Structure 1
Amino acid sequence: METRETCIRTRIYDEKPLFSFGKGNRWLTSITGSVSYMFYNGLTEKQIKWLQIRSTRVRQRLTFSCNNQRSENFNLSSVVQFLSWNDMEIGPNPTSFYPFSYTVPSTSDGCLNRKNKQEASSIIELETSNVFRLPVRDMWIKHIDDPEESFMVINVELCFK
Structure 2
Amino acid sequence: MSDVPQKAESDPKVLEFARYELDYRRKKQWDIFSWAVTILVAVIGGMIALTSKENIRPDHPSRYAMAGALFFLTVYAAYWIRENLAAEERADGKVKKLLSLSDTREATSFKKSTDFLFGYVPVVVLIGLAAIVAVLFVNASPLGFGALKPS
TM-score (norm 1): 0.26
TM-score, normalisation: structure 2:
0.27
Whichever structure has more strand as a proportion of its residues is: 1
Whose helix fraction is larger, Structure 1's or Structure 2's? 2
* Bigger Cα Rg: 2
